[in-house]
Amino acid sequence: MAMFLLRRIGHGILVLWLISIAVFGLFFVAPSNVAQTLAGRQATPETIALIKHRLGLDLPVWKQYLHFLGNALKGNLGFDYYHQVPVTKIIAGALPITVSLALGAAVLWLSLGVFNGVISAIHPRSLADRGLTLFALFFYSFPSFLLGLLLLYFLYFRLTLSGFKWFPAGGYSPLAGGFGPWFQHLFLPWIALALLLAATYTRLTRGSMLDVLGEDYIRTARSKGIRESRVIVRHGLRSALTPVVTQFGIDLGQLIGGVVVTETVFSLPGLGQTAVVAINQQDLPVIIGIVLFASAAVVVANILVDIAYAVLDPRVRLH
């Protein structure tokens, strides 16, 4: 177990290092005019050169990279080009929003997906199965921005016009400012994200559950005379959840790194939206910081998935 963790963490660091090189390289391949933007339209070439010098952009790319790497190893991801705010602080500010969005949606899509999947699997090819499959595929094939906009139109715009101010048009209210406003601001984004992802989980749970319900040990469980609900949940779902947990870990890891479309539609200043803004402004330190953080989230999620595998299935040994 310790060996497994060490090796996986080693791999993770290698991956992050390669990603940092890739992002750095990509940034300098594209034409850059940060200094020009900062200096304004009327700036003299001298001003622009000064700004370039201040930001370290006049150094050779490899020197800039080594500089960045040295600082990053000390936990300093640099400062953003425009307001000189530490990148770590920017990430720390945006992270709770993305985490709130991702975790809340995760609760919804997991319960919805697993429940629907189990119902479908218990009665395959029944009306319920077909209905739930249709429901899942409908939202699965929906463009995510459109789903968000429709939710806003009906549940914010029309509802507010009718005198029910239940949901705001967007934005975020921190949990510290009260559970109610936090919940109200996140409810529509949760729904938008969960409906999109629930389909995968419905299909995954259904397929996995159908396989498991055909297993010999399910017949054994029935032969023991235990209640059918217990056969389905304790014996069937217990085994069927393994692939679901894998998918869940990977999805959650990806979402923690930023939910670009949903955050943008609902004006949530999470990591995804921050990254989009940074890319538009060519704000290299912020871009690199968020990309590295998002990659780290995926790497950690993958390690956790493997650990969860070993916890869920006693036959799995971690080496």
Partner 1 sequence: MALLEVRDLRVSFDTPDGTVHAVRGLSYDVEAGQTLAVVGESGSGKSVSTQTITGLTRGAKVSGTAFFDGTDLITADQSTLRRLRGAQIGMIFQDPLSSLHPQYRIGWQIVEMIRAHDKEISKQAARKRAADLLTLVGIPRAAERIDDYPHQFSGGMRQRVMIAMAMALDPALLIADEPTTALDVTVQAQVLNVMRRLQEQFGTAIILITHDLGVVAEMADEVVVMYAGAVMERAPRRDIFYRNHHPYTQGLLASLPARSGDRLTPIPGTPPSLISLPKGCPFAARCSHVFDKCRAEAPPLIDVARDPRHQSACWLPHENSEAIAS
Helix axes 179-213, 144-151, angle to 10 degrees: 130
CA dist., res. 311 & res. 146, Å (int)? 39
Smallest gap from Cβ 146 to partner 1, in A, equals 40
User: Considering only 97-105, 139-147, 175-183, 213-221, which stretch makes contact with partner 1 by CB under 8 A?
Assistant: 213-221
Looking at the Cβ atoms of 169 and 228, the one nearer to partner 1 is 228
Looking at the Cβ atoms of 163 and 314, the one nearer to partner 1 is 314
183 half-sphere exposure, CB direction, 13 A CA radius: 4
User: Considering only 93-101, 146-154, 227-235, 256-264, which stretch makes contact with partner 1 by CB under 8 A?
Assistant: 227-235
Stretch 88-117 residues interacting with partner 1 (CB under 8 A): none
Sequence-distant (≥ 6) Cβ neighbours of residue 173 within 8 angstroms: 181, 182, 184, 185
Of 217, 248, 291, 304, which one interacts with partner 1 (CB under 8 A)?
217
**Token pair 């499959």 is at which residue?**
133
221 touches partner 1 by CB under 8 A: yes
CB 114 within 8 A of CB 204: no
**Token pair 């949903």 is at which residue?**
262
125 touches partner 1 by CB under 8 A: no
Identify the DSSP state of 155.
Answer: I
Question: From residue 297 to residue 316, what is the string marking binding to partner 1 with x (rule CB under 8 A)?
Answer: ---------------xxxx-
Tokens encoding 253: 């890891």
Helices within 214-281 (DSSP H only):
216-223, 228-230, 238-256, 260-265, 271-280
283 half-sphere exposure, CB direction, 13 A CA radius: 26
The per-type count for the chain, helices as H runs and strands as E runs, is 15, 0
Looking at the Cβ atoms of 16 and 310, the one nearer to partner 1 is 310
123 touches partner 1 by CB under 8 A: no
User: Considering only 50-58, 60-68, 153-161, 212-220, which stretch makes contact with partner 1 by CB under 8 A?
Assistant: 212-220
- Residue 212 CB coordination number (10 Å): 20
Of 98, 132, 235, 296, which one interacts with partner 1 (CB under 8 A)?
235
User: Considering only 67-75, 106-114, 232-240, 290-298, which stretch makes contact with partner 1 by CB under 8 A?
Assistant: 232-240
224 touches partner 1 by CB under 8 A: yes
238 touches partner 1 by CB under 8 A: yes
Question: From residue 239 to residue 268, what is the string marking binding to partner 1 with x (rule CB under 8 A)?
Answer: x-----------------------------
Sequence-distant (≥ 6) Cβ neighbours of residue 96 within 8 angstroms: 174, 175
46 touches partner 1 by CB under 8 A: no
CB 212 within 8 A of CB 239: yes
Smallest gap from Cβ 5 to partner 1, in A, equals 23
228 touches partner 1 by CB under 8 A: yes
Q: Backbone phi, then psi, for 175, in 5-degree steps?
A: -60, -30
Looking at the Cβ atoms of 33 and 220, the one nearer to partner 1 is 220
Of 227, 229, 280, 319, which one interacts with partner 1 (CB under 8 A)?
227
Binding site for partner 1 (CB under 8 A): 215-217, 219-228, 235, 238-239, 312-315
